[in-house]
Structure 1
Amino acid sequence: MTSHIAPVELAKAYRLINHGPTVLVSASHGGVANVMAAAWACALDFAPPKVTVVLDKSTRTRALVEASGRFVLQVPTVRQLALTQAVGNTSLADDADKLRRCGVTLFQQDAEPTPLVAGCAAWLACRLVPEPHNQQAYDLFIGEVEAAWADTRVFANGHWRFEEAGPEWRSLHHVAGGHYYAIGAPLSAQDATSPPSPSA
Protein backbone atom coordinates (compact mmCIF):
# COMPACT_ATOMS: atom_id res chain seq x y z
CA MET A 1 0.00 0.00 0.00
CA THR A 2 2.81 2.45 0.77
CA SER A 3 5.43 1.49 -1.83
CA HIS A 4 4.96 4.77 -3.72
CA ILE A 5 4.98 7.00 -0.64
CA ALA A 6 8.11 9.07 -0.09
CA PRO A 7 9.03 11.68 2.51
CA VAL A 8 8.75 15.33 1.47
CA GLU A 9 11.39 17.81 2.60
CA LEU A 10 9.74 19.98 5.25
CA ALA A 11 10.91 23.16 3.53
CA LYS A 12 8.68 22.15 0.60
CA ALA A 13 5.79 20.67 2.60
CA TYR A 14 3.67 23.81 2.07
CA ARG A 15 3.51 22.95 -1.65
CA LEU A 16 1.35 19.96 -0.82
CA ILE A 17 -1.61 22.26 -0.02
CA ASN A 18 -0.58 25.58 -1.59
CA HIS A 19 -2.86 24.92 -4.57
CA GLY A 20 -5.93 25.10 -2.33
CA PRO A 21 -7.33 21.55 -2.31
CA THR A 22 -10.08 20.19 -0.13
CA VAL A 23 -8.33 18.13 2.54
CA LEU A 24 -9.17 15.20 4.78
CA VAL A 25 -8.37 15.70 8.47
CA SER A 26 -7.61 12.61 10.53
CA ALA A 27 -7.14 12.44 14.27
CA SER A 28 -7.21 9.81 16.98
CA HIS A 29 -7.26 9.61 20.77
CA GLY A 30 -8.05 6.91 23.29
CA GLY A 31 -8.52 4.23 20.66
CA VAL A 32 -10.98 6.31 18.62
CA ALA A 33 -10.05 7.53 15.13
CA ASN A 34 -12.01 9.78 12.79
CA VAL A 35 -11.69 11.51 9.44
CA MET A 36 -13.52 14.59 8.17
CA ALA A 37 -13.34 16.75 5.05
CA ALA A 38 -12.33 20.40 5.28
CA ALA A 39 -12.31 22.97 2.50
CA TRP A 40 -10.74 25.76 4.56
CA ALA A 41 -7.09 24.78 5.03
CA CYS A 42 -3.94 26.59 3.96
CA ALA A 43 -0.21 26.99 4.47
CA LEU A 44 0.75 29.53 7.13
CA ASP A 45 4.54 29.56 7.51
CA PHE A 46 7.73 28.14 6.00
CA ALA A 47 10.19 27.53 8.85
CA PRO A 48 9.03 25.70 10.76
CA PRO A 49 6.24 24.86 8.33
CA LYS A 50 2.76 25.52 9.68
CA VAL A 51 -0.77 25.10 8.36
CA THR A 52 -4.22 26.24 9.40
CA VAL A 53 -7.54 24.43 9.21
CA VAL A 54 -11.06 25.33 10.31
CA LEU A 55 -12.69 22.64 12.48
CA ASP A 56 -16.26 23.29 13.59
CA LYS A 57 -17.11 22.82 17.26
CA SER A 58 -19.70 20.18 16.40
CA THR A 59 -17.20 17.74 14.87
CA ARG A 60 -15.80 14.70 16.66
CA THR A 61 -12.53 15.16 14.77
CA ARG A 62 -12.01 18.50 16.49
CA ALA A 63 -12.46 16.89 19.91
CA LEU A 64 -9.86 14.25 18.99
CA VAL A 65 -7.42 16.93 17.81
CA GLU A 66 -7.86 18.89 21.04
CA ALA A 67 -7.39 15.75 23.16
CA SER A 68 -4.39 14.32 21.28
CA GLY A 69 -2.67 17.54 20.20
CA ARG A 70 -2.11 16.07 16.71
CA PHE A 71 -3.77 15.79 13.31
CA VAL A 72 -2.94 14.84 9.73
CA LEU A 73 -4.02 16.79 6.66
CA GLN A 74 -4.19 14.70 3.52
CA VAL A 75 -4.93 15.60 -0.10
CA PRO A 76 -7.64 13.34 -1.54
CA THR A 77 -7.88 12.62 -5.25
CA VAL A 78 -10.64 12.56 -7.86
CA ARG A 79 -11.13 8.84 -7.34
CA GLN A 80 -11.89 9.62 -3.67
CA LEU A 81 -14.70 12.07 -4.43
CA ALA A 82 -17.45 9.87 -2.94
CA LEU A 83 -15.33 9.13 0.13
CA THR A 84 -14.54 12.83 0.63
CA GLN A 85 -18.20 13.83 0.36
CA ALA A 86 -19.25 11.00 2.68
CA VAL A 87 -16.79 11.74 5.52
CA GLY A 88 -17.72 15.43 5.27
CA ASN A 89 -21.41 14.70 5.72
CA THR A 90 -21.43 11.79 8.18
CA SER A 91 -20.80 12.27 11.89
CA LEU A 92 -19.02 9.74 14.05
CA ALA A 93 -21.44 10.82 16.79
CA ASP A 94 -24.32 9.43 14.72
CA ASP A 95 -22.58 6.41 13.20
CA ALA A 96 -19.90 4.53 15.13
CA ASP A 97 -19.14 2.60 11.91
CA LYS A 98 -18.64 5.81 9.89
CA LEU A 99 -15.17 5.09 8.52
CA ARG A 100 -16.05 1.63 7.22
CA ARG A 101 -19.33 2.84 5.70
CA CYS A 102 -17.53 5.73 4.00
CA GLY A 103 -14.87 3.42 2.56
CA VAL A 104 -11.95 4.80 4.59
CA THR A 105 -8.83 2.67 5.02
CA LEU A 106 -6.34 3.94 7.58
CA PHE A 107 -2.64 3.10 7.85
CA GLN A 108 0.36 4.09 9.94
CA GLN A 109 3.43 5.72 8.41
CA ASP A 110 6.85 5.74 10.05
CA ALA A 111 6.61 6.86 13.68
CA GLU A 112 3.52 9.06 13.21
CA PRO A 113 0.92 8.09 15.86
CA THR A 114 -2.04 9.56 13.97
CA PRO A 115 -3.45 7.29 11.26
CA LEU A 116 -3.31 8.37 7.61
CA VAL A 117 -6.00 7.85 4.96
CA ALA A 118 -4.92 5.41 2.26
CA GLY A 119 -5.13 6.39 -1.40
CA CYS A 120 -4.47 10.11 -0.99
CA ALA A 121 -1.85 12.06 -2.92
CA ALA A 122 -0.14 13.70 0.08
CA TRP A 123 -0.10 13.76 3.87
CA LEU A 124 1.07 16.38 6.40
CA ALA A 125 1.43 15.20 10.01
CA CYS A 126 0.98 18.11 12.39
CA ARG A 127 1.46 18.94 16.04
CA LEU A 128 -1.27 21.27 17.29
CA VAL A 129 -0.03 24.74 18.16
CA PRO A 130 -2.52 25.66 20.91
CA GLU A 131 -4.23 29.00 20.35
CA PRO A 132 -7.32 28.75 22.59
CA HIS A 133 -8.77 32.13 21.59
CA ASN A 134 -8.57 31.42 17.86
CA GLN A 135 -9.92 27.91 18.35
CA GLN A 136 -12.91 29.06 20.38
CA ALA A 137 -13.71 32.32 18.59
CA TYR A 138 -12.97 31.29 14.99
CA ASP A 139 -12.71 27.47 14.97
CA LEU A 140 -9.21 28.08 13.56
CA PHE A 141 -6.51 25.51 14.34
CA ILE A 142 -2.79 25.87 13.69
CA GLY A 143 -0.53 22.90 13.18
CA GLU A 144 3.23 22.68 12.90
CA VAL A 145 4.11 20.16 10.19
CA GLU A 146 6.50 17.61 11.67
CA ALA A 147 6.49 15.11 8.80
CA ALA A 148 5.16 15.03 5.26
CA TRP A 149 4.83 12.40 2.55
CA ALA A 150 3.55 12.29 -1.01
CA ASP A 151 2.77 9.67 -3.59
CA THR A 152 5.65 9.81 -6.06
CA ARG A 153 3.28 9.05 -8.95
CA VAL A 154 1.92 12.59 -8.66
CA PHE A 155 4.40 14.59 -6.51
CA ALA A 156 8.16 14.28 -6.89
CA ASN A 157 11.27 16.41 -6.38
CA GLY A 158 9.24 19.05 -4.56
CA HIS A 159 6.68 19.55 -7.35
CA TRP A 160 3.21 18.37 -8.29
CA ARG A 161 3.11 16.39 -11.55
CA PHE A 162 -0.63 16.40 -12.21
CA GLU A 163 -0.04 16.71 -15.95
CA GLU A 164 2.02 13.50 -15.96
CA ALA A 165 -0.29 11.42 -13.75
CA GLY A 166 -3.70 10.12 -14.77
CA PRO A 167 -6.79 12.33 -14.23
CA GLU A 168 -7.78 10.19 -11.24
CA TRP A 169 -4.81 11.72 -9.35
CA ARG A 170 -6.06 15.32 -9.58
CA SER A 171 -6.92 17.07 -6.33
CA LEU A 172 -10.46 18.09 -5.38
CA HIS A 173 -11.60 21.68 -4.80
CA HIS A 174 -14.96 22.06 -3.06
CA VAL A 175 -17.12 25.03 -3.97
CA ALA A 176 -20.39 24.44 -2.10
CA GLY A 177 -23.27 21.99 -1.79
CA GLY A 178 -21.28 18.93 -2.87
CA HIS A 179 -19.97 20.65 -6.01
CA TYR A 180 -16.25 20.19 -6.69
CA TYR A 181 -13.71 21.01 -9.36
CA ALA A 182 -10.62 18.98 -10.11
CA ILE A 183 -7.38 20.90 -10.51
CA GLY A 184 -6.79 21.88 -14.13
CA ALA A 185 -3.88 22.07 -16.51
CA PRO A 186 -0.59 23.67 -15.44
CA LEU A 187 0.22 27.21 -16.53
CA SER A 188 3.56 28.99 -16.24
CA ALA A 189 3.81 32.74 -15.77
CA GLN A 190 7.28 32.53 -17.33
CA ASP A 191 5.71 31.31 -20.57
CA ALA A 192 2.95 33.90 -20.62
CA THR A 193 3.17 36.88 -22.90
CA SER A 194 2.70 40.34 -21.46
CA PRO A 195 -0.62 41.99 -22.23
CA PRO A 196 -0.40 44.75 -24.81
CA SER A 197 0.18 48.23 -23.43
CA PRO A 198 -2.89 50.47 -23.59
CA SER A 199 -2.68 52.97 -26.43
CA ALA A 200 -2.13 56.60 -25.58
Structure 2
Amino acid sequence: MNLNIGTILKTHIHPVPLEKSYRLLNHGPTVLVSAQDQTHTGVMTAAWACALEFNPAKVTVVLDKSTKTREIIENSGYFALQVPTLKQLKLVYALGMMSQRDAPEKLRQCGVELFQFNHSDIPVVEGCAAWLLCKLIPEPHNQQAHDLFIGEVIAAYADDRVFRNGHWYYHEVEDEWKSLHHVAGGHFYTIGNPVSVDETPD
Protein backbone atom coordinates (compact mmCIF):
# COMPACT_ATOMS: atom_id res chain seq x y z
CA MET A 1 0.00 0.00 0.00
CA ASN A 2 1.36 3.38 -1.00
CA LEU A 3 0.03 6.32 1.00
CA ASN A 4 1.39 9.56 -0.41
CA ILE A 5 0.49 12.09 2.26
CA GLY A 6 -0.53 15.46 0.93
CA THR A 7 -0.38 14.57 -2.76
CA ILE A 8 -2.72 17.13 -4.27
CA LEU A 9 -0.31 18.26 -6.98
CA LYS A 10 -1.84 16.01 -9.62
CA THR A 11 -2.16 17.77 -12.94
CA HIS A 12 -5.69 16.71 -13.83
CA ILE A 13 -7.38 16.70 -10.41
CA HIS A 14 -9.37 19.82 -9.56
CA PRO A 15 -11.90 20.78 -6.87
CA VAL A 16 -15.59 20.49 -7.63
CA PRO A 17 -17.95 23.07 -6.08
CA LEU A 18 -19.97 21.39 -3.35
CA GLU A 19 -23.26 22.45 -4.91
CA LYS A 20 -22.24 20.47 -8.03
CA SER A 21 -20.81 17.47 -6.18
CA TYR A 22 -24.08 15.52 -6.42
CA ARG A 23 -23.39 15.16 -10.15
CA LEU A 24 -20.42 12.96 -9.35
CA LEU A 25 -22.85 10.28 -8.11
CA ASN A 26 -26.08 11.11 -9.93
CA HIS A 27 -25.46 8.57 -12.70
CA GLY A 28 -25.46 5.73 -10.17
CA PRO A 29 -21.90 4.37 -10.31
CA THR A 30 -20.44 1.63 -8.18
CA VAL A 31 -18.14 3.40 -5.70
CA LEU A 32 -15.15 2.68 -3.54
CA VAL A 33 -15.50 3.66 0.13
CA SER A 34 -12.36 4.49 2.08
CA ALA A 35 -11.67 5.52 5.66
CA GLN A 36 -8.96 5.63 8.30
CA ASP A 37 -8.99 5.64 12.08
CA GLN A 38 -6.08 5.70 14.52
CA THR A 39 -5.26 2.06 13.83
CA HIS A 40 -6.61 0.92 10.49
CA THR A 41 -7.15 2.00 6.88
CA GLY A 42 -9.99 0.40 4.95
CA VAL A 43 -11.29 0.38 1.39
CA MET A 44 -14.37 -1.48 0.15
CA THR A 45 -16.69 -1.54 -2.84
CA ALA A 46 -20.29 -0.35 -2.52
CA ALA A 47 -23.05 -0.46 -5.13
CA TRP A 48 -25.70 1.46 -3.18
CA ALA A 49 -24.53 5.07 -2.88
CA CYS A 50 -26.34 8.21 -3.97
CA ALA A 51 -26.65 11.96 -3.58
CA LEU A 52 -29.07 13.05 -0.86
CA GLU A 53 -29.11 16.85 -0.71
CA PHE A 54 -27.77 19.87 -2.60
CA ASN A 55 -27.02 22.35 0.18
CA PRO A 56 -25.36 21.34 2.32
CA ALA A 57 -24.22 18.59 -0.02
CA LYS A 58 -24.98 15.17 1.45
CA VAL A 59 -24.67 11.56 0.31
CA THR A 60 -25.81 8.16 1.49
CA VAL A 61 -24.15 4.77 1.28
CA VAL A 62 -25.19 1.32 2.49
CA LEU A 63 -22.45 -0.50 4.45
CA ASP A 64 -22.98 -4.00 5.77
CA LYS A 65 -22.32 -4.63 9.46
CA SER A 66 -19.75 -7.29 8.61
CA THR A 67 -17.36 -4.87 6.91
CA LYS A 68 -14.21 -3.53 8.50
CA THR A 69 -14.47 -0.23 6.64
CA ARG A 70 -17.83 0.45 8.29
CA GLU A 71 -16.21 0.00 11.72
CA ILE A 72 -13.42 2.38 10.74
CA ILE A 73 -15.94 5.00 9.64
CA GLU A 74 -17.84 4.67 12.92
CA ASN A 75 -14.57 5.14 14.80
CA SER A 76 -13.24 8.07 12.78
CA GLY A 77 -16.40 9.90 11.72
CA TYR A 78 -15.09 10.46 8.19
CA PHE A 79 -15.04 8.62 4.88
CA ALA A 80 -14.58 9.12 1.16
CA LEU A 81 -16.61 7.94 -1.80
CA GLN A 82 -14.77 7.65 -5.07
CA VAL A 83 -15.88 6.82 -8.60
CA PRO A 84 -13.66 4.11 -10.09
CA THR A 85 -13.32 3.43 -13.81
CA LEU A 86 -13.31 0.47 -16.17
CA LYS A 87 -9.53 0.24 -15.98
CA GLN A 88 -9.98 -0.52 -12.25
CA LEU A 89 -12.56 -3.28 -12.75
CA LYS A 90 -10.47 -6.09 -11.24
CA LEU A 91 -9.55 -3.90 -8.27
CA VAL A 92 -13.19 -2.94 -7.70
CA TYR A 93 -14.28 -6.57 -7.81
CA ALA A 94 -11.49 -7.77 -5.51
CA LEU A 95 -12.20 -5.07 -2.93
CA GLY A 96 -15.85 -6.13 -2.92
CA MET A 97 -15.17 -9.85 -2.62
CA MET A 98 -12.42 -9.84 0.00
CA SER A 99 -13.09 -9.01 3.66
CA GLN A 100 -10.47 -7.10 5.58
CA ARG A 101 -11.58 -8.94 8.70
CA ASP A 102 -10.49 -12.23 7.14
CA ALA A 103 -7.57 -10.76 5.21
CA PRO A 104 -5.86 -7.97 7.18
CA GLU A 105 -3.47 -7.44 4.23
CA LYS A 106 -6.39 -6.94 1.84
CA LEU A 107 -5.28 -3.55 0.55
CA ARG A 108 -1.75 -4.73 -0.19
CA GLN A 109 -3.01 -7.95 -1.76
CA CYS A 110 -5.39 -6.03 -4.00
CA GLY A 111 -2.71 -3.54 -5.02
CA VAL A 112 -4.51 -0.48 -3.66
CA GLU A 113 -2.60 2.78 -4.03
CA LEU A 114 -3.75 5.59 -1.75
CA PHE A 115 -3.08 9.29 -1.36
CA GLN A 116 -4.48 12.15 0.69
CA PHE A 117 -5.55 15.63 -0.29
CA ASN A 118 -3.58 18.36 1.45
CA HIS A 119 -6.25 19.45 3.90
CA SER A 120 -7.52 15.97 4.80
CA ASP A 121 -6.48 12.80 6.60
CA ILE A 122 -8.97 10.68 4.67
CA PRO A 123 -7.17 8.21 2.38
CA VAL A 124 -8.44 8.07 -1.20
CA VAL A 125 -7.80 5.64 -4.03
CA GLU A 126 -5.42 6.55 -6.82
CA GLY A 127 -6.69 6.44 -10.40
CA CYS A 128 -10.39 7.14 -9.86
CA ALA A 129 -12.39 9.72 -11.79
CA ALA A 130 -13.86 11.55 -8.78
CA TRP A 131 -13.64 11.74 -5.00
CA LEU A 132 -16.08 13.01 -2.37
CA LEU A 133 -14.70 13.57 1.13
CA CYS A 134 -17.40 13.23 3.76
CA LYS A 135 -18.05 13.83 7.44
CA LEU A 136 -20.34 11.22 8.95
CA ILE A 137 -23.72 12.49 10.16
CA PRO A 138 -24.42 9.96 12.91
CA GLU A 139 -27.86 8.37 12.62
CA PRO A 140 -27.65 5.33 14.94
CA HIS A 141 -31.10 3.98 14.07
CA ASN A 142 -30.55 4.12 10.31
CA GLN A 143 -27.07 2.67 10.67
CA GLN A 144 -28.21 -0.27 12.81
CA ALA A 145 -31.60 -0.98 11.27
CA HIS A 146 -30.85 -0.27 7.62
CA ASP A 147 -27.02 -0.17 7.32
CA LEU A 148 -27.56 3.33 5.91
CA PHE A 149 -24.84 5.93 6.44
CA ILE A 150 -25.23 9.64 5.73
CA GLY A 151 -22.31 11.93 5.06
CA GLU A 152 -21.96 15.66 4.57
CA VAL A 153 -19.65 16.35 1.65
CA ILE A 154 -16.85 18.58 2.90
CA ALA A 155 -14.78 18.55 -0.30
CA ALA A 156 -15.05 17.08 -3.78
CA TYR A 157 -12.58 16.56 -6.60
CA ALA A 158 -12.64 15.18 -10.13
CA ASP A 159 -10.24 14.38 -12.93
CA ASP A 160 -10.81 17.07 -15.54
CA ARG A 161 -10.12 14.65 -18.37
CA VAL A 162 -13.57 13.20 -17.70
CA PHE A 163 -15.42 15.73 -15.44
CA ARG A 164 -15.16 19.50 -15.69
CA ASN A 165 -17.35 22.59 -15.39
CA GLY A 166 -19.90 20.52 -13.48
CA HIS A 167 -20.39 17.93 -16.25
CA TRP A 168 -19.22 14.43 -17.15
CA TYR A 169 -17.52 14.03 -20.54
CA TYR A 170 -17.62 10.26 -20.82
CA HIS A 171 -18.47 10.61 -24.53
CA GLU A 172 -15.09 12.23 -25.17
CA VAL A 173 -12.81 9.72 -23.45
CA GLU A 174 -11.62 6.18 -23.99
CA ASP A 175 -13.71 3.37 -22.54
CA GLU A 176 -11.18 2.83 -19.74
CA TRP A 177 -12.46 6.06 -18.12
CA LYS A 178 -16.10 4.99 -18.00
CA SER A 179 -17.81 4.36 -14.67
CA LEU A 180 -18.87 0.91 -13.49
CA HIS A 181 -22.43 -0.10 -12.62
CA HIS A 182 -22.82 -3.33 -10.67
CA VAL A 183 -25.62 -5.76 -11.49
CA ALA A 184 -24.81 -8.97 -9.57
CA GLY A 185 -21.83 -11.16 -8.80
CA GLY A 186 -19.01 -10.23 -11.15
CA HIS A 187 -21.34 -8.63 -13.70
CA PHE A 188 -21.11 -4.90 -14.36
CA TYR A 189 -22.11 -2.45 -17.05
CA THR A 190 -20.18 0.65 -18.02
CA ILE A 191 -21.95 3.91 -18.63
CA GLY A 192 -23.52 4.21 -22.09
CA ASN A 193 -23.93 6.89 -24.72
CA PRO A 194 -25.24 10.37 -23.91
CA VAL A 195 -28.79 11.29 -24.93
CA SER A 196 -30.62 14.57 -24.49
CA VAL A 197 -34.32 15.36 -24.33
CA ASP A 198 -33.71 18.29 -26.67
CA GLU A 199 -32.14 15.99 -29.27
CA THR A 200 -34.64 13.12 -29.07
CA PRO A 201 -37.21 12.98 -31.88
CA ASP A 202 -40.91 12.84 -30.97
**TM-score (ref. length: structure 1):** 0.95
- Superposed CA RMSD in Å reads 0.9
Task: Quote the residue 2:172 is aligned against.
Answer: 164
- Identity %, equivalent residues: 62
Q: One-letter code of the match for 1:7? A: P
Partner of 1:139: 147
Alignment gaps of 5+ in structure 1: 195-200
What does residue range 111-130 of structure 1 map to in structure 2 within 5 Å?
111-130=119-138
Task: Tell me the distance in 1 between the aligned counterparts of 2:198 and 2:154.
Answer: 33
| Rounded Cα–Cα distance in structure 2 between residues aligned with 1:102 and 1:189 | 41
- Report the secondary structure of 1:134's partner residue: helix
The residue that corresponds to 2:54 in the other structure is 46
Could you tell me which residue of structure 2 aligns to residue 197 of structure 1? Answer: none
Per the alignment, residue 35 of structure 2 pairs with 27
* Aligned equivalents of 2:55, 2:123: Cα separation in 1: 25
Q: Give how far 1:31 is off.
A: 3.3
Q: Quick one: which of 179, 185, 195 aligns to 1:187?
A: 195
Aligned position for 2:108: 100
Residue identity matched to 1:192: T
2:82 maps to which of 74, 91, 94: 74
Query: Could you list the per-position Cα deviations for residues 122-168 of structure 1 after superposition, in whole angstroms to 9, with x for gaps in the alignment?
Result: 00000000100000000000000000000011001110000111110
Q: Which amino acid in the other structure matches residue 60 of structure 2?
A: T
Query: Where does residue 89 of structure 1 map in the other structure?
Result: 97
Query: Which residue matches 1:198?
Result: none
Question: How high is the TM-score relative to the length of structure 2?
Answer: 0.94
- Is the aligned partner of 1:109 residue 2:117? yes
Which has the higher Rg, Structure 1 or Structure 2?
1
Aligned-partner Cα distance in 1 for 2:48–2:37: 23
Q: Structure 2: any 5+ residue segments left out of the alignment?
A: 1-8
Q: Report the CA distance between 1:2 and its aligned residue.
A: 2.1
- 1:4 and 2:12 are equivalent in the alignment: yes
| Separation of aligned partners in 1, 2:10 and 2:90 | 22
Counterpart of 1:27 in structure 2: which amino acid? A
For structure 1, which segment, 80-89 or 93-102, has the greater mean C-alpha deviation from structure 2 after superposition? Answer: 93-102
Answering whether residue 100 of structure 2 is matched by residue 64 of structure 1, we say no
| Distance (whole Å) between structure 2 residues aligned to residue 189 and residue 80 of structure 1 | 31
